[in-house]
Amino acid sequence: MHSYAADVQLARFDRATGGLLGDRRVSVWQNSTAALDESIGLVEQLLAAGEESPEGRRLAATLKLLNRTARRRGPHDLYDVYHSLYWPLVSPEHVKARARVITVHDMIPYLFPEFVTDEVIERQQSIVASIDGRRDWVICNSVSTKTDFCEITLVEPQRVFVTPFAAPREIFRPEPDAARIAATLGKHGIPGPGYVLSLCTLEPRKNLARLVRAFFALVETQRLRDLRLVLTGPAGWKSHELYASLGARPELRDRIILPGFVPDEDLSALYSGAGLFVYPSLYEGFGLPALEAMQCGVPVVTSRTSSLPEVVGADAITVDPKDEDAIAEAIRRVLEDSDLARELRRRGLARSATFSWSRTVAETVAAYRAMLAASS
């Protein structure tokens, strides 16, 4: 684990699942300042209070202090596979393994540094720097990300595997209960079903400013009096262009609804209440929201860039994300053609069924076996 806090989170998960991990959980941090029970309690209090509350900020500061006072304790065993799911690989002297592998989720900081913060760029650079391209292995979540990674780092493609993500079916599924959909929409200030939905962090890479302008143009030319655009998700960084687009047409501003963060338990109803889902992102390492929407039975309009065509295949409408007219036309087609919308729902459900976490696990295990065979 990359920090004492992450070690505590894993211990907390193990306890909550009744010891699911058992002796497979190996602690690599020690802290003489706080016992494990105290640290788990601190994390639970922080999650309950929320990081933005005064109490949450105090608890977060305490957790950061524990992180700084903790000390690594290196496991002495030789492991078969050491897999970092997000953070840089530690040195081979610290963790000894026959195969070292890291998951690379995207190459956004290298391709679009203007869309991310300096902190994100530095973290991605440290991830790449931790990889020994001659000895280590990489797992990407799409062929697109693998291609970008190999082109940027010059790591040989045979050292990079692809295992796609999935959307949990207990959260993302068609919601058949109209009353539950209505209650969820009312809870989040959405007047009624049939809206155009997008769901993501509100940041420039998601291309929402163009979506807003395309939506305003469509509403104006087609005289769609009751149509709403729902932009769901927390506010992100560098979003001034989005808010400028929202403010450019004050007479249409009430057509845009910003519910903010929506919890998991409301997402199936939110997706199911939409007339279509639009995801015009400029770049995605995988693009889970498009898969989530298809899995909920919603027609999808998305970009024909990066990994998104891998996710939706031929079962969604794909457009040039920089062409506002094309975005508007795709929305119009789905809204006006009920047969097309019905067909996209059917095909999207079938397409989404090919992605599952069991598939992800099976392909990851197959990658482990290939790494170990090549390392023997």
Say if CB 202 and CB 208 are below 8 A apart: yes
Render each residue's pLDDT in the chain as its tens digit; 376 residues: 567 777 788 888 888 888 887 877 777 777 877 788 888 888 888 777 766 678 878 878 888 887 778 777 666 678 899 999 888 998 888 888 999 999 999 999 999 999 888 989 999 999 999 999 999 999 999 999 999 999 999 999 999 999 999 999 999 999 999 999 999 999 999 998 999 999 998 888 999 999 999 999 999 887 777 899 999 988 877 777 787 888 878 888 889 999 999 999 999 999 999 999 999 999 999 999 999 999 999 999 999 999 999 999 999 999 999 999 999 999 999 999 999 999 999 999 999 999 999 999 999 999 999 999 998 7
Q: How would you label 241-279 residue by residue, b for 16+ Cβ within 10 Å and e otherwise?
A: ebeebbeebeeeeebbbbbeebeeebbbbbbbbbbbbbb
pLDDT at residue 36, as a whole number: 82
pLDDT at residue 333, as a whole number: 95
pLDDT at residue 74, as a whole number: 64
At residue 65, φ and ψ (nearest 5 deg) are: -65, -40
pLDDT at residue 2, as a whole number: 63
Kindly calculate the radius of gyration of the chain based on its CA atoms and give it in whole angstroms.
23
Q: How would you label 192-212 residue by residue, b for 16+ Cβ within 10 Å and e otherwise?
A: eeebbbbbbebbbbbbbbbbb
Handedness of CA 144, 145, 150, 155 (dihedral sign): negative
Q: How many CB atoms lie within 10 A of CB 285?
A: 20
Q: At what angle do helices 288-295 and 264-272 cross, to 10 degrees?
A: 70
Domains of the chain with bracketed CATH: 1-73 (no CATH), 76-166+356-376 (3.40.50.2000), 178-354 (3.40.50.2000)
The 3-state DSSP class for residue 186 equals helix
Give the chain's length. Answer: 376
**Structure token pair of residue 360:** 């992800």
Say if CB 271 and CB 185 are below 8 A apart: no
**Structure token pair of residue 85:** 């799911």
Could you tell me the pTM of the whole model? Answer: 0.85
Beta strand ranges found along the chain (DSSP E)? 29-30, 71-72, 78-84, 96-104, 137-140, 160-162, 195-199, 229-232, 256-260, 274-279, 300-303, 317-319
pLDDT at residue 52, as a whole number: 63
